Each structure stands twice: as C-alpha cells, then as structure tokens.
Chain A
C-alpha cells in the first residue's frame, strides 16, 4: 500500500507517469492512424498524415476562441463527474454509476427548472440543488446497500445506471415530457430563463466558475476536514476507522451519496448551462470517462481537473480530426483506452521508460500478524 503523503520524489513520479502514459498512448494512436492512413500512395510515407491528424486534433480543441470555449464547456461536466469518482475512490469505493447519477440529476434539475415558478435568484440554486439531491439519492442507495448488506457497489452502480436510463425513458416520455404539440422528442420543456446559468463570456456559462469552486471545496473537504479524514480512513482501512469511532456505515453511504451528488451536479449544470432541458440519451459515456479521468488524475483534485481538460480536448478536437482526415472518430476512444491502460498498469510505462519504481515501503511480515489488508481500489497516492 503506497503512502498517502508522498515525498517530493514520489510527487514528481506521480506527474511523470501519467504524462508518459499520455505520450505513449498518443504514439500508439499515431501508429494506428498511420496504418489507417494513405501510407502506400507513391513515396508518401504517411507520417505527414499522422501529423496532420494530431495537429487538427489540437487545433480542433484549442485552435480558436470557439474551440477553447467548447473544450472548456466539455471540461465542466467531466470535472464534476471525475471528482465524483475520485471522492468515492478515496473512501475505498468504486463508483461506476456516475452516468446514472448524472442522468437522474439532469432529470431532477430540468423538472425543477421548468415546473417551478420561482424568482431567478433562488430558481437557479434550486435547480442545481435538485440535481445534486437526485444524484445523491442515486449514489446513496448504492452506498447504503454496500454498508448495510455488503452488496458490492460496483455491481449495484452498474445496475443503477441501467435503471436510471429506464427511469429517464419513462419520465421523458411520460410525466416530464414536453407536451407542446410541436415537440416530437423525448425531452422536458425548456427550463425557465431564471433557472439558467448566466454566461460569463459569450457562450461560456458560469458553470466553469462553479466547477472551479466545487473542485476547491472538494479538495478542502477531502484533505482538510475531519469528514475527509474519516473518508480517507474508511478508504485506507475501514476496520481501523470503525475502531477509531468512525461510523463506517454512515461514512460509506455519505461517500457514495456525495459522489452521486457531484455527478448529479454535472447533469444539473449541463441542463442549466448548456441544453436548458433534459433530453433522453444525452448522458451517454460519462460513466466510463469519469473513471478514466479519476484514475489518470491519480485521485487528486488537480489531477482530475487536468485530466478533464485532456478528455474534453480529445472529444472536442475529434471533430476536426475526423473532418480533416475522414478517419473514424473512434480513434479517440482507442487513445483514451490506451491512456487508461497505461495509467492503470503503470508498470508498463515504468518498464518502457526504465523508471525506477517509487520507493515502496516494504517490510518483513511480522510473525502472527497477517497484513491481509486488501488493497484499496485505487492506488492512493496523494
């Protein structure tokens, strides 16, 4: 088990490995692009094609003001859902259910946005709170089941994703559907003007600010408060936490509940800042992406934020890459999978680059004492 507070050497290492993982994944992606490109036409080797592909990816993500705005907008929900997964990880829990929590969060936020008639100053907070609450319930159910019955949260959150999808399908075709005769889509009506996030800059809603604030608050809670201390204690050694007087049942439920809250907030911010409504099928793919983001970010807040930017940039730039090269945008998923693979199995990266392993604190097994503490799901480097 790696120490929580790494020394300076390890900290450098914690940055180096993800960076090398990303570089390696991009290199491998380049090989795939090269293979898919027009490499055998005349003397053309196709290297230029790969370069063009990546340049267009970069340009698509950061090449213009609009591109930067788009990348930023995409970063926002990733930050929330990535933090959601990270927070659960810190509590030793694996939240695969960000997608379902995000879905119900969006539903609740949209409902609060179109059905309530409130003054603007409280309507927006109510909308966001509704999303948080719904997400918290969806995550909290898994937490409660884990804490009370031992039902593994990985399984229950997967199942809750599907149940959330069906719930959305039911609500968006039934009670919450936009009944205007012109609407033919399974979606809610648009939310009230007062319930929308204001724009900071043209096209860039205030959710960006919120994401920054929430990231800082999350950092503060996890690392500076007693609650966060309990969370990390439960994550590192639930038995010791119970012994130290932590109510483990409550803390686990809390962890998945707050994790769900953050994911629900992601959904609510998309509703209040981007779509202004909840539409069936708009929340696909966040679940697995957020796991990748949390892992790539080493379960640290700053890591999550940076990884979110990376994933958002990949997704944003994909359009231009596809447009320029007419290569399937699935290449982005391949690159993401490679990044995740190399971050998760960092031995590969270390082996590739001959990095010295972080000084693992090894110790002799003590007679009579079984150090049979199962590893926490995520490598818990600070």
Chain B
C-alpha cells in the first residue's frame, strides 16, 4: 500500500469519526461514540480481514481467488455442525479451518493441477458452497433439529477491559483477537520467512522459482490451502463468534467485499487490514448515524467499498499491482 493511499485511508476514517462526532446527540459523550464506533468497526472488519488474508495467500502464490465467499460460507456451516455435534467450540473452529482448506484444496486441484481457469474454478466453488450448505442445512440441520453449541466467550484484557468507555474494545472474542494476530503473522510469514519468499516468487515469476528448485505446484497448493484455512476461521466467525446459528447465505457477500479489501490494500496484510477497517468503518458510520437520527444515503454506503475498489483499480488513487503471475496456470517446460 502506497503512502498516499495509506494517508487517504486514514483521512477517510478520520472523516467518518468526525462526521459522527459533530452530529451526535448531546447526551452521549464523544468518547463513547468513538469507542463504540471503533468496537463496531473492529467487529465488522474481522470477517473481512480474514477473507482478505485468505485471498492474499492464494493470490500471492499466483492463484486468483474469487471463491472467498464460498470458502467462508462452507466453513461457517462446517464449523457450526461440528461444534453442534461435538459440543466443542474449539472443534468447531478447527472444523471450519478444515472445511475452508478442503474447499481450497478443490480450488488448487482444479486450477493448479488441472489448470482450469481460476475464475471458473472460483465460480464452481461459490455455486457449490451455496448449494451444498443450503441443501445440508435443510436436510441435516432441520431434519435432525440440530442446535448450535453457543458462542466463543470473549477474552478480556485484564485491566483495560474494565475501563469505562474503551472497555468494550478490549473484550473481543477469540477470532477477533486471532485476526489481529494473523495480520501480523501473515506479514511476517509473507515477507520474512522462507516460505513467504517462495510464495511470492511463485506468484511473480513461477519459472524462476521452478528454476531455483522450488516446486511451483506444491507451493501453490500450500498457499491456497493456508488461505482456505484462514477463510475457514472467517467462516467460523459467523457461526461460532457472531451468532450461534447457521443460516443459508449468511456470509452475505462479505467474501466479495474481502476481495475488494485485498485489492484496495494492494495484496499486503497490513493494507488488507486497513482496507477492511475502512469498509467496516463505513458500515459502522451507517449504523451510528441512524442511531442519532441522521438520515443516511444507505445505497451510497452500500456502494462505498465497490466504487472505491474500481477507482483504485483504475489508478485514480495510486495504483495497485497484482502479483504478476496471478491467474496464469504454470506449465513447466
């Protein structure tokens, strides 16, 4: 993410907060509003960030991923059903990761091994995820009257979570905390580790990586599946951290907003996180403004991430460069 775009994002977030601050009702303190907006923003940003990180590992290795939505949706279902069956939330999260990674394995098999067009492969996964989870939620969850296992309890930062105004920010649930850790972890993995270097090499110039003795296929499989597992955590967020139920189509297009965040963030973990925060902040503003009786053009809020992404892609606010080999199957020889 370029410095200019980073400042642009900061300015946007500042403007969002300022907008609420100036228009809020007199009996709620500014600090409360700011803290509340921040809390809401972090909450909305969690699945977006996870989705964007999932897409990042995938695309950094040169495999386009428009199937974040499908991976998250199927993981949301898998996490829910396993948690419900085992009555273990931890098992549910693991199941979410396994399901996400399994969908990713399908994506990798199709696009890396069989060299199916990566967009087509992503489309297959999205359609399949919607159909299979819808079908199973009717035929299994409904028929067997399966009840959810509840939600992951919040983890409180000892002293800080008891503070009056900002307290809620420091009592997030595990996946929200894990997301922050994953942003840092993903940055470290991608830019500081051997595997990260190889993933990036494979995504930029696969023949160079191949010539250096790296298996392009294995690296892509691994990266896509790591991404899938992260998408799986994002899916588990919906059914184990946000609400204790699974609903068909409950990811509600967030996988595509995550894709937008990934692009807006220039395919970097920090950038994707900041972009997710920005998009989440727009939603938080939408909610907060209504709370204070300010009419908001909802459709404009709804368009915000998508318009911004097109603008960025068109190069109007700095330019983003995708990994050079994204979308191209690697054919050795």
Residues of A bordering B, CB below 8 Å: 32, 36, 94, 96, 145, 148-149, 151-152, 154-156, 158-160, 162-163, 165-167, 169-170, 288, 291-292, 295, 327-328, 330-338, 340-341, 344-345, 347-348, 365, 374-375, 377-378
With A169-B302, A333-B135, A344-B121 known, 6 other A-B pairs at CB within 8 A are A151-B314, A333-B130, A338-B128, A344-B124, A345-B116, A374-B327
Q: Chain B 109-137, CB within 8 Å of chain A: the 1/0 string?
A: 01000111101110110111011101100
Given the contacts A166-B302, A333-B130, A334-B128, A156 and B117 also touching, CB distance less than 8 Å: no
Smallest distance from the beta carbon of A351 to chain B beta carbons, Å? Answer: 10
Given the contacts A345-B110, A365-B333, A149 and B315 also touching, CB distance less than 8 Å: yes
Q: What range describes how many residues of B lie at the interface?
A: 35 or more
How far does the alpha carbon of A375 sit from the alpha carbon of B114 in the complex, in Å?
13
A149 near B119 with CB under 8 A, answer no
Q: Which parts of B256-303 form the interface with A (CB within 8 Å)?
A: 256, 259-260, 263, 297-300, 302-303
B259 near A155 with CB under 8 A, answer yes
Q: Describe B's contact surface by its main secondary structure.
A: helix
How far does the alpha carbon of A179 sit from the alpha carbon of B315 in the complex, in Å?
41
B309 near A155 with CB under 8 A, answer yes
Smallest distance from the beta carbon of B125 to chain A beta carbons, Å? Answer: 8
Smallest distance from the beta carbon of A350 to chain B beta carbons, Å? Answer: 11
How far does the alpha carbon of A67 sit from the alpha carbon of B221 in the complex, in Å?
46
Interface status of B162 (Cβ within 8 A of chain A) = no
Smallest distance from the beta carbon of B64 to chain A beta carbons, Å? Answer: 7
Chain B residues with CB under 8 A of A96: 66, 119, 123
Interface status of B328 (Cβ within 8 A of chain A) = yes
Smallest distance from the beta carbon of A239 to chain B beta carbons, Å? Answer: 16
| Sample of 24 A–B contacts (CB below 8 Å) | A94-B117, A145-B310, A149-B315, A155-B263, A155-B309, A158-B66, A158-B256, A158-B259, A159-B306, A162-B306, A166-B299, A292-B123, A292-B127, A327-B139, A333-B130, A334-B132, A336-B131, A340-B120, A344-B120, A344-B121, A345-B114, A345-B116, A375-B115, A377-B120
Chain B residues with CB under 8 A of A295: 120
How far does the alpha carbon of A160 sit from the alpha carbon of B311 in the complex, in Å?
12
How far does the alpha carbon of A133 sit from the alpha carbon of B217 in the complex, in Å?
44
A337 near B128 with CB under 8 A, answer yes
Given the contacts A295-B120, A327-B139, A344-B110, A145 and B313 also touching, CB distance less than 8 Å: yes
A331 near B135 with CB under 8 A, answer yes
B256 near A340 with CB under 8 A, answer no
Chain A residues with CB under 8 A of B168: none
Interface status of B322 (Cβ within 8 A of chain A) = yes
A159 near B139 with CB under 8 A, answer no
Interface status of B253 (Cβ within 8 A of chain A) = yes
Interface status of B329 (Cβ within 8 A of chain A) = yes
Q: Pick the residue among B66, B310, B333 that contacts A156 (CB under 8 A).
A: B310
Interface status of B307 (Cβ within 8 A of chain A) = yes
Closest to A342 in B: B124
A341 near B128 with CB under 8 A, answer yes
How far does the alpha carbon of A104 sit from the alpha carbon of B279 in the complex, in Å?
25
B110 near A163 with CB under 8 A, answer no
Q: Pick the residue among B302, B303, B313 that contacts A152 (CB under 8 A).
A: B313
Smallest distance from the beta carbon of A175 to chain B beta carbons, Å? Answer: 12
Q: Which parts of B165-182 form the interface with A (CB within 8 Å)?
A: none
Chain B residues with CB under 8 A of A149: 313-315
A328 near B121 with CB under 8 A, answer no
Smallest distance from the beta carbon of B51 to chain A beta carbons, Å? Answer: 14
How far does the alpha carbon of A62 sit from the alpha carbon of B330 in the complex, in Å?
45
A291 near B303 with CB under 8 A, answer no
Smallest distance from the beta carbon of A24 to chain B beta carbons, Å? Answer: 14
Given the contacts A151-B310, A378-B117, A288 and B123 also touching, CB distance less than 8 Å: yes
Q: Pick the residue among A169, A328, A341 that contacts B135 (CB under 8 A).
A: A328
Given the contacts A159-B310, A340-B123, A345-B116, A328 and B134 also touching, CB distance less than 8 Å: yes
Smallest distance from the beta carbon of B163 to chain A beta carbons, Å? Answer: 38
Chain B residues with CB under 8 A of A337: 124, 127-128, 131-132
How far does the alpha carbon of A136 sit from the alpha carbon of B248 in the complex, in Å?
33
Smallest distance from the beta carbon of A96 to chain B beta carbons, Å? Answer: 7
Chain A residues with CB under 8 A of B132: 330, 334, 337
How far does the alpha carbon of A189 sit from the alpha carbon of B322 in the complex, in Å?
45
Given the contacts A162-B306, A163-B303, A333-B130, A151 and B313 also touching, CB distance less than 8 Å: yes
Name the residue in A36, A340, A344 with the highest tally of chain B Cβ atoms < 10 Å from its Cβ.
A344
Smallest distance from the beta carbon of B68 to chain A beta carbons, Å? Answer: 11
B134 near A154 with CB under 8 A, answer no
Chain B residues with CB under 8 A of A145: 310, 313-314
Chain B residues with CB under 8 A of A151: 310, 313-315
Chain B residues with CB under 8 A of A158: 66, 256, 259
B310 near A160 with CB under 8 A, answer yes
Interface status of B138 (Cβ within 8 A of chain A) = yes
Given the contacts A154-B66, A332-B131, A159 and B116 also touching, CB distance less than 8 Å: no
Smallest distance from the beta carbon of A354 to chain B beta carbons, Å? Answer: 17
Smallest distance from the beta carbon of A287 to chain B beta carbons, Å? Answer: 9
Chain A residues with CB under 8 A of B333: 365
Chain A residues with CB under 8 A of B310: 145, 151, 156, 159-160, 163
How far does the alpha carbon of A292 sit from the alpha carbon of B126 in the complex, in Å?
12
B116 near A344 with CB under 8 A, answer yes
Chain B residues with CB under 8 A of A148: 314
How far does the alpha carbon of A348 sit from the alpha carbon of B139 in the complex, in Å?
28
